[in-house]
Amino acid sequence: MTQQYDVAIVGAGPGGYSTALRAAELGMSVALIEREGTVGGTCLNRGCIPSKALITAMHAMDAARHADVFGVRASVSGIDYNRLREYRLGAVATMTKGLSELLAQRKIDVLYGEAELADTHTIRILITDPADDGTQHVTTVTAEHIVLATGGRPRTLPGEPFRDALIDSTRALELDEFPSRAVIVGAGAIAVEFASLWNAAGCEVTLIIRKGRVLSGWDKRTGMTLTRELKRRGVTVIANASVTGVDTGIKTGATVRYTQAGGEETDVEADVVLAAIGRDPNTDAPWFDALGIARDTHGLLAVDELGRTSVPGVWAVGDITPGHALAHRAFAQGITVAEAIAGLEPRPVDEATVPGIVFSSPEAATVGLTEEQAKERDDLLNVKQTAYPMLGNARMMMSGTGGSMAVVSGERADRPGVPVVLGVHIVAPGASDLIAEAQQLVGARTPLAEAARLIHPHPTFSETLGEALLKADGRPLHTR
């Protein structure tokens, strides 16, 4: 039996389900196809939500450990891993159940099974029925428009497949207990978050990074500050290093071999090794080639600014498209694609206004251009970066945490003489929330003088952004 829809979406992560919700809201019939047993994709099931649940729990543990600084007597007797597991799974279940109910309310048909495109309007879905001894059958769906949201998977170290104690982020979240010793290979958000998480739990953490600082693709000051703070909290950072091999055993943990700056090979032992060097797009199924969907050398689909692939009628969103591999960016793409399909002529997602966040201790957040990126642009003039000394803020001082704040400003060539906010880069407690205001300023191309007039409540962490904007506008109050 063939079911017919206006829009069929392959993948029920943030990009897929946002497309489905907006398309249904616009009056289209929608099928959402997911190969896993639940909706929500990596973010809700194996990424954002479970990892932040664990990080929230470890923040409580870390706060108790350092409470004596404030004159509060507190102690940590240990971790009840069964309760922690229940808390993590409960957070995931609450989010996925709520999403399932919302999809049902919008009358979106959710079909579970492995999908493949037979042609540009036809999807075959292989469905396995666990209630019938694993019996499989094929359902066919046709649609005027097909949206691909197949997501990504953890990337392996070169020549080192995941095995035994060499694990990916999914297995790291599912560990029965936190390791006593861990080596993490990588310098991005996932690597840094797990370094902070395990460190707060009392784990001996070694972080091996290829360059001189974590978050090497971010603003330099941000990466250097966060690297310093990780070291200050007890994380061993081995910089400018290349992993040459990993030896694993089922019961004996693992040994990581590496070299630094062309030196001799060195090794470090651990209970587990987390490889967190990025993710690869799920675009290697044979039907991508059969349909002639264009991809780049990294497997990312070639799309226009509204999400159209090289094949008419087929669209793509999320981690399989070039750009920031972030859940909130995929969510915004899904809305754009749904509105484009409906003929509403939406604005494309602006990559320069997509915030990046790392839920480390302290947090790091970024949006817009770095100083180097802005200076490379021909359409920007008189670019400058303004740094604000974070310990001049009362709440920062009370937190006992170091941090950094930088505002990048400059003039648009078509509007000289009016500096605008081009980028903001933060390391601080609550940076994940502070960046929302910065995103609004960058996205709206707010003139610097207007941004600096905004009032921030006192005493708050948000005042750091207000003070940084005043300084960038040449009107510093508490700084030189």
Please give the Cα distance from 360 to 276 (Å, whole number): 15
Helix (H), strand (E) at residue 48: helix 48-65
Query: Euclidean distance between the first and final Cα of the chain, in Å?
Result: 72
Please, are residues 444 and 454 in contact by the beta-carbon 8 Å criterion? no
Q: Which has the closest alpha carbon to 34: 58, 15, 47, 50?
A: 15
Q: β-pairing, 109-112 with 114-119?
A: unpaired
Please, are residues 86 and 79 in contact by the beta-carbon 8 Å criterion? no
Q: Is the dihedral of CA 113, 117, 122, 124 positive or negative?
A: negative
User: Catalytic one among 66, 137, 298, 458?
Assistant: 458
Question: Would residue 59 show up in a list of annotated catalytic residues for this protein?
Answer: no
Residue ranges of the binding site for FAD: 52, 319
- Sheet strand arrangement including 181-185: 166-167, 272-275, 181-185, 204-208, 236-238
Q: Is the dihedral of CA 186, 188, 191, 195 positive or negative?
A: positive
Q: β-pairing, 204-208 with 236-238?
A: parallel
3-state secondary structure of 423: strand
Please, are residues 407 and 421 in contact by the beta-carbon 8 Å criterion? yes
Angle of the 14-25 helix axis to the 81-105 helix axis, nearest 10? 30
Q: Which has the closest alpha carbon to 308: 348, 277, 274?
A: 348
Please, are residues 319 and 281 in contact by the beta-carbon 8 Å criterion? yes
Please, are residues 228 and 318 in contact by the beta-carbon 8 Å criterion? no
Please, are residues 296 and 284 in contact by the beta-carbon 8 Å criterion? no
Neighbours of 205 (CB within 10 A): 26
Residue ranges of the binding site: 52, 186-193, 278, 319
Using only C-alpha atoms, what is the Rg of the chain?
24
Residue ranges of the binding site for NAD(+): 186-193, 278
Helix (H), strand (E) at residue 382: strand 380-388
362: preceding bond cis by omega (within 30 degrees): yes
Residues labelled as active-site residues:
458
